[in-house]
Amino acid sequence: MSIKKNVAVFVGLALAVAVAGVAVPVSAAALTQAQIDAIIGLLQSFGADQSTISNVQTSLTGGTPTGGTGGTTGGYVFNANLTMGSSGTDVKNLQKVLNSNADTQVAASGVGSAGNESSYFGALTKAAVIKFQKKYSITPAVGYVGAITRAKLNSMGGVVVTPPGTTPPVVTPIGTGLTVTAGTQPAPQLAPLNAARVPMTNITFTAGSDGDVTVNSLVVERGGPSVDADVSGIVLLNESGAQVGLAKTLNSAHQVTLNEAFTVKAGQSRTMTLGMNRPSADADSSSAGAVFVLSLVAVNTSATVSGSLPIAGTAQTGNAGLTIGSVTNARGPLDPAGAASKNVGTTGYTFSSIKVTAGSTEDVLIKSIRWNQASSAASSDLANLITVVEGTSYPTIVDSTGKYYTSVFGSGIKVEKGFSKEISIKGDITGGSGRTVAFNIEKTTDLNLVGALYGYGITPPTSGTGFSAGSIWYAASTISINTGSLTVSADTSVAAQNVAINLANQPLGGFSVEVKGESISVASLVFNVMATGDEVSDITNVSLVDGNGAVLAGPVDGVDVLDPSGTLTFSGTITFPVGITKLQLKGKLGTDFVNNDTVQASTTPSSNWTTVTGQVTNQTITPSPSTAVTANTMTVKAAALTINVLSTPVAQTVVAGGQDFVFTAYQLDATASGEDLRIAQLLLDYSTNGTATNLTSCRLYNGTTALNTGSNAVNPSAAASSTTFTFDSALVVTKGTTKSLDLKCNIASGSSGQYYWGISATQTVTGVTSGQAATITQNSAAGQRMTMSSAGTLAIALDASSPSYKVASAGTTGNTVSVLRLTATNEDINLSTIALQLTSSATSTSDDVTKVTLWEGTTQVGEAYFNTTNKDSTGVWMATSTLSSAVVVTKDVDKLLTVKVDFPSQSTTGAGKPGSLVAIDHNGSSGTYGTGASSGTTIYATGSDTATAGIRVFKSVPTITFPGLSDTVLSAGRKDLFRFNVTAAPGGQVGIQRISVRISTSSATASSDMVDAVNAYAYEDSSYSTAVSGIQSDGAFMSGSLDLTANWASNATQFDISAADSANASTTVVVPAGATRYFVVRGDVANLAGASYSVATVLEGDASYSANVYANSFGTATTTYLATSTYLFNTSAQNDFIWRPFSTTTAQSMNANDFANGYGLSGLPSGSSNSQTLNK
């Protein structure tokens, strides 16, 4: 027979099988007898059962097929997977098919037997399905009706029948044409022993544009000078190289049928590859040099096939000498390693795990893995399934049967020679009570391994813990999904609260029911009730409601058991869905209940909840817990309200003319009430020794909401104890809560006297539900007296947060000089201006200040300028601020304003004077005022001038820091005793002329016993390696070190170390602008043996700015600025740290009028620094 004729025959075969399946006769004249014989022969070669062959033969010869063993289904086609717990028409028809053969019947008699089929898939049906699968060699035979089993069922005479009352399924158009062509063939290569998936032939399948085409099977033939024994299997590979279906072995005709169907989308192409697996051994010693060729010889599809067959691929040469990579496999450490039971709701559970170890030949790449969920759980019972390799997660793709889960690892996960990787599948159990889960790996080829060096597919062995050569390569542990569970707990959201007497729907207790796995029905629920002070029979009309208020059961009445205990029994069946259901008992308390009686409900689910049944498994379920679950206690209370006058706002002075001033706050307390309360009006007590009509538009506020507006606003005409406030709508105070109401009124301008509001009259309040009058407890009070005033007051003082004395560099801005505290009484005050003065006029002038700014927090609110013409009678410079932003000084709340100053630069031509002390204060005599927010009058500030410490301004200033000693061990030799750093401000260089240190020891004898030859050194770097210039060559201050033997008297002895140049003339250590210099004090340490000793050193600071500043011959006695005509005498008491800012000259001279002490320098204490200590 020609190839073209073969194609036609296979198309005819597909049509014939389809015809036989729908039981419609075909004209015998359509095919010749030779063609019919060929079709029957091919059916036999495919392994079709005799019933199918007989039906096809009858149909092709004009007869009527019998419909096989499935005729009892009336031509029913199974479109859905079925498993334990399934129900419906599919199940009933399945049982009919199974009962049509004694080998597979569900039951011999009773439920499930022939004529008594049911619509529930239970244990009997599962057992029958397993018998059916074993009979027809369907693997795995586990009782799950998936795609393979359905295909068998449907081949036994089914037609698509739409059950009555259902919507017909949407049918995807089936393509009518398929073109088969040769693809670009694989490159020639060796095919060594044990190689898997050696690519042999590429075939391109192209579907027509009228619909998808399903290719049901392919017939492949081996050719070339080789033998079948040298081929262990033929496989089909998809575009990504993943195997499609199982490997098949060659038959006596040197052919295999690859019958795993695949689909080609309409108008698209797919290139599939025929691959070859080689055996592990050369059985007949003939494979070396053998040539293998695989040809596609037939395509089984319902579409018309175009193309020339056979299509032969590349001839690959066998090899018996090359050793390719290998692996060993074993059960993974994460595998359950045995049957287990898990509840629905379990998350991140590892179902199955294997460990793969690469051999010594080459690294191995793991390309993909296919898991087979071979047990009864449906794919919808599982979620978030992932494959995990050494902690990295990869997604899984589930096939149409819902049973095979594949993960592809891109270019592959490398397993280095001799090393291992663990591969696991994990996920969540979301349903499937009563079902089981088992993630097997069905075949060795489901684990796609490739050698990283030679590139050949590797077939893993069938040995290893958990692995076998049977039909299932790796049989996973079976995980049983437990039946549903029902757990009851107390619902604390139904809080302990007051409940009313003789009112319906009072809360009696709350419970939470959590259901997992399946919906669960409960036929009877009993709640135990303790009615302390009464009896349960006085509780009636009790309903069980859910969180939405829907009644689930009842109403029922309480039954006494042993007073005060009793029960509430609900006998109607309630079905609880999966999830959490909130339950609440609501009922009516009889009139025998009195105040402070209590009601508490409880239940013991394991015994009080009966006939509890899972709605999927139909199994009896025991609720939990087995101990009592107790709801919150409810306290019986009548409607009651307590009214109080609060102590705030306090009695105070109030500026007349204010609007919405709060006179009084009232508290409405319903914490002891059994029901919500309705208040339509309040009667308030109004008193005054002033004019009653001065208060207008009086309203009560609930938070920000006015309760009486418009015509209900009160304009008192006279003082009265029962001034009525009628609410626009009734105010409801919820039981168990309190509300505070503020009384606000407008105050007429010019008012005087005292005004106050209280409460004393009898009030009327009713229960919201009962409408009965509530019991009122009224704590009468007159309220706080508010005294009227014509205006407020404003006071200004220096705040404690104002900075202490400090130094600053010329040319800098935003230097905080003071913080002013403003306080308003009686009313808010809108600040207009603030008066400032240059308090330090004796040491500074307006030229020393560029600008002053005022700040409220981080916001600038104003600025001020000093000029030479604005002085008071004493010569103090004055300035008045201009506010750029509104500043409101709230009544009785301190307002802080920060005063900052900008300084001009200093030089021979600059405006600023070196050493000037700038102190800016509030001028208390005049100029600061604001406007009263209520009175509208102008209010001037009171208080005296403030006194700030001030800022002394130099051209540049140093900052001192202390890095500490790197070595604190007291040992013999030249040792570092103290370290400090000096950093010059960016404005200019500074010079260090003298430092003073104190050295104390633990010895009672002279310090010279331990330390001698003390000197200071200066360096350019923090590693103390580059000495500064201008002093001694080694960086020493002095040409000769201090002799402590002659100079040390006690631990309080101070040593002055002054800088000198190489000629021993006085000089300074220059620190360039913005740079840092590193200073260290060193001394020789004696070899002190046999005892513990310590040496501690501190750097001295200065406690005040030197008073010994005198005029010299270069200036006049009245000029007192540092760099113009003054100098600092060495005999000054405050001369421990002497430095210079180089204000007007860079000359190094002791006589330069340009020195200052260390008072106020950043980082330098006014006393002495922390000690740096050496210890032995």
Q: What would the pLDDT profile of 998-1032 be if each residue is shown by its tens digit?
A: 998 876 454 556 788 999 999 999 999 999 999 99
Question: Percent helix, strand and coil across the chain, each rounded to 5?
Answer: 10, 45, 45
Residues 1103 and 1057 both lie in one domain: yes
- CATH number of the domain to which 797 belongs: 2.60.40
Q: Which residues contact 1000 (CB under 8 A, 6 or more apart)?
A: 1007, 1051, 1052, 1095, 1096, 1097, 1171
Residues 11 and 62 both lie in one domain: yes
Which pLDDT score, from 0 to 100, does residue 1153 have?
Answer: 67
Q: Which residues contact 1081 (CB under 8 A, 6 or more apart)?
A: 976, 977, 978, 979, 995, 997, 1014, 1015, 1016, 1017, 1057, 1097
Neighbouring CB atoms inside 10 A of 992's CB total 26
Which pLDDT score, from 0 to 100, does residue 872 have?
Answer: 77
Which pLDDT score, from 0 to 100, does residue 169 have?
Answer: 45
As to burial, measured by CB atoms within 10 angstroms (0-12 exposed, 13-18 middle, 19+ buried), residue 108 is exposed
513 vs 595 pLDDT, higher one:
513
pTM higher than 0.75 for the full model? no
The backbone torsions φ and ψ at residue 764, rounded to the nearest 5 degrees and listed phi first, read: -125, 120
Residue 978 inside a domain? The answer is yes
Q: Within 13 Å of residue 805, how many CA atoms lie on the same side as its CB? A: 16
Residues 782 and 739 both lie in one domain: yes
The domain in which residue 1153 lies consists of 958-1175
Instruction: Among 30-39, 897-906, 1135-1144, name the one with the lowest average pLDDT.
Output: 30-39
Residue 618 inside a domain? The answer is no
- Own/partner pairs, 466-473, CB within 8 angstroms, 24+ separation: 466/330, 466/331, 466/335, 466/354, 467/329, 467/330, 471/139, 471/140, 471/442, 472/139, 472/140, 472/374, 472/440, 472/441, 472/442, 473/440, 473/441, 473/442, 473/443, 473/444, 473/446
Which pLDDT score, from 0 to 100, does residue 1002 have?
Answer: 79
What is the percent of the chain where pLDDT is above 90?
Answer: 62
Cα–Cα–Cα angle for 600, 604, 605, rounded to 5 degrees: 125
- Own/partner pairs, 381-384, CB within 8 angstroms, 24+ separation: 381/429, 381/430, 381/431, 381/432, 381/435, 381/437, 381/481, 382/427, 382/428, 382/429, 382/430, 382/432, 382/437, 383/427, 383/428, 383/430, 384/347, 384/348, 384/427, 384/428
Each residue's pLDDT tens digit, 630-666: 999 999 998 999 999 999 999 999 999 889 999 999 9
The total domain count for the chain is 7
Helices (H) and strands (E) in the chain, counts: 9, 83
Residue 911 inside a domain? The answer is yes
431 vs 333 pLDDT, higher one:
333
Band (24; pLDDT cuts 50, 70, 90)? very low
470 vs 606 pLDDT, higher one:
606
Residues 355 and 443 both lie in one domain: yes
Which pLDDT score, from 0 to 100, does residue 869 have?
Answer: 78
Residue 163 inside a domain? The answer is no
Look at residue 185 and tell me whether its pLDDT is greater than 60: yes
Each residue's pLDDT tens digit, 487-543: 999 999 999 999 999 999 999 999 999 998 788 999 999 999 999 988 999 999 999
Which pLDDT score, from 0 to 100, does residue 21 have?
Answer: 38
What's 1009's DSSP letter? Answer: G
Residues 21 and 60 both lie in one domain: yes
Look at residue 619 and tell me whether its pLDDT is greater than 70: yes
Which pLDDT score, from 0 to 100, does residue 12 have?
Answer: 38
Band (40; pLDDT cuts 50, 70, 90)? low
Query: For the residues 42-59, what does the mean pLDDT come to?
Result: 52
Each residue's pLDDT tens digit, 83-97: 877 888 888 899 999
Which pLDDT score, from 0 to 100, does residue 53 have?
Answer: 52
* Beta-sheet pairing, 859-864 with 720-733: unpaired
- CATH number of the domain to which 65 belongs: 1.10.101.10
Kindly state the helix (H) or strand (E) to which residue 899 belongs, with its residue range: strand 895-902
Q: Tell the residue number behind the tokens 């040491």, with chain if given.
A: 843
Residues 461 and 540 both lie in one domain: no
Tell how far CA 960 is from the center of its chain: 46
Look at residue 1131 and tell me whether its pLDDT is greater than 50: no
Instruction: Give the end-to-end CA distance of the chain in Å, rounded to a whole number.
Output: 109
Kindly state the helix (H) or strand (E) to which residue 825 belongs, with its residue range: strand 815-825
Tell how far CA 974 is from the center of its chain: 58
Residues 967 and 833 both lie in one domain: no
Residue 712 inside a domain? The answer is yes
Residues 982 and 1048 both lie in one domain: yes
Instruction: Among 116-120, 487-491, 989-993, name the one with the lowest average pLDDT.
Output: 116-120
Residue 616 inside a domain? The answer is no
Question: Looking at 481, 500, 534, which one is the last position of a domain?
Answer: 481
Q: Report d(CA 483, CA 479) in Å as an integer.
A: 13
Question: Looking at 262, 284, 319, which one is the last position of a domain?
Answer: 319
The backbone torsions φ and ψ at residue 354, rounded to the nearest 5 degrees and listed phi first, read: -130, 160
Residues 923 and 776 both lie in one domain: no
Which pLDDT score, from 0 to 100, does residue 1107 have?
Answer: 53
Instruction: Among 332-336, 721-725, 929-933, 998-1002, name the one with the lowest average pLDDT.
Output: 998-1002
Residues 651 and 545 both lie in one domain: no
Each residue's pLDDT tens digit, 830-880: 999 999 999 876 678 888 999 999 999 999 999 999 987 787 767 688 888
Q: Report d(CA 26, CA 34) in Å as an integer.
A: 16
Each residue's pLDDT tens digit, 671-682: 999 999 999 999
The backbone torsions φ and ψ at residue 32, rounded to the nearest 5 degrees and listed phi first, read: -75, 165
Residues 183 and 315 both lie in one domain: yes
Band (163; pLDDT cuts 50, 70, 90)? very low
Look at residue 70 and tell me whether its pLDDT is greater than 80: no
Which pLDDT score, from 0 to 100, does residue 1090 have?
Answer: 64
Look at residue 324 and tell me whether its pLDDT is greater than 50: yes
Residues 136 and 223 both lie in one domain: no
Q: Within 13 Å of residue 929, how many CA atoms lie on the same side as its CB? A: 10
Band (1110; pLDDT cuts 50, 70, 90)? very low
Each residue's pLDDT tens digit, 1032-1066: 999 999 999 988 777 777 777 788 899 999 998 88
Q: Report d(CA 831, CA 265) in Å as an integer.
A: 81
Look at residue 18 and tell me whether its pLDDT is greater than 50: no
Band (707; pLDDT cuts 50, 70, 90)? very high
Each residue's pLDDT tens digit, 779-836: 988 999 999 998 999 999 999 999 999 999 999 999 999 999 999 999 999 999 999 9
Residue 609 inside a domain? The answer is no
- Strands across the sheet containing 392-395: 327-331, 349-358, 420-429, 382-389, 392-395
Each residue's pLDDT tens digit, 281-311: 887 777 788 999 999 999 999 999 999 999 9
Residue 183 inside a domain? The answer is yes
Q: Report d(CA 298, CA 12) in Å as an integer.
A: 13
Query: For the residues 137-149, what does the mean pLDDT come to?
Result: 82
Question: Looking at 481, 511, 535, which one is the last position of a domain?
Answer: 481
Residue 237 zone, left/alpha/beta (φ > 0; ψ -120 to 50; rest): beta
